[in-house]
Amino acid sequence: MQQSESGGGAATSEVQLNDQPNALIACKVPEEVFNEEQLKEQFEALFRAFDPSTSFQFFKSFRRVRINFTDALTAAEARVKLHKSDFNGKEMRLYFAQSVHIGSTRLEPPKPEKQFLISPPASPPVGWAQSLDAKPGINFDLLCAVSKLGPGEQYEIHSGTTNTPSVIVHVCEDDEDSEDETAEGGKRARPKIIQTRRPDNVPSVNQ
């Protein structure tokens, strides 16, 4: 039983070790490292002492360097010994390079229920159907009441309260002069727009 327990602990530590990243990110690296070849070699020698197969990726715009080791154990050892150490008169900070994956590591297409929002639109999701517009409601009581009204009469649909106004339907009066306003060809002439009369100029009274 003791051997099985020790074996299980080794397997657990191995899994935890494999989950750790095998790369470090050096932040706020001095600009001289990117410009001077000799200083760049000295910077690389610090990490090659832990792993001769270490590779480097220099990002001058961000003043950062990615250091890639062959295994996570070497990366952890280098981080423990070189983090916050002095290099070229400045403190060097090292952090583990994290790879963030949400779900799958591959880029997947959007969900089917959102694909119809893409331009140009893709095929609609399964089971999607065009919604039909509702039929307009016809108030037959209102039509019946209005049909019984004569020209100039009115019909109250909704009685007013202290908070809401009343709704009243007015029936238009017949135009007695419709025959006179009919233009040639049987078409009714367009009504003339009468301009608003300018008010009389009242002279001001000087006191």
pLDDT digits (tens, 9 = 90+) for 44-83: 999 999 999 999 999 988 889 999 999 889 999 999 999 8
Highest mean pLDDT pick, 8-17, 108-117, 130-139, 145-154: 130-139
Cβ–Cβ < 8 Å for 94, 18: no
The amino acid sitting at 178 is S
**Can you name the residues that pair with 64 across neighbouring β-strands?**
59
Whether the pLDDT of residue 142 is over 50: the answer is: yes
pLDDT digits (tens, 9 = 90+) for 72-123: 899 999 999 998 888 888 888 999 887 655 566 677 776 766 666 666 666 6
Q: How far apart are CA 27 and CA 49, in angstroms?
A: 20
CB 92 within 8 A of CB 29: yes
Across the range 148-172, mean pLDDT stands at 78
Cα 184 to Cα 134, 168, 177, 181, 190, distances in angstroms: 43, 37, 15, 10, 12
Question: Domain map of the chain by residue range?
Answer: 19-96, 140-170
For residues 188-205, average pLDDT: 71
Q: Is 161 helix (H, G, I), strand (E, B) or coil?
A: coil
From the list 35, 102, 92, 37, the residue with the least C-alpha distance to 67 is 92
- Is residue 3 scored above 50 in pLDDT? no
Q: Which CATH class is domain 19-96?
A: alpha beta
Question: Distance (Å, rounded) from C-alpha 173 to C-alpha 2?
Answer: 107
**Sheet (strand 90-96) strand order:** 55-59, 64-68, 23-27, 90-96, 85-87
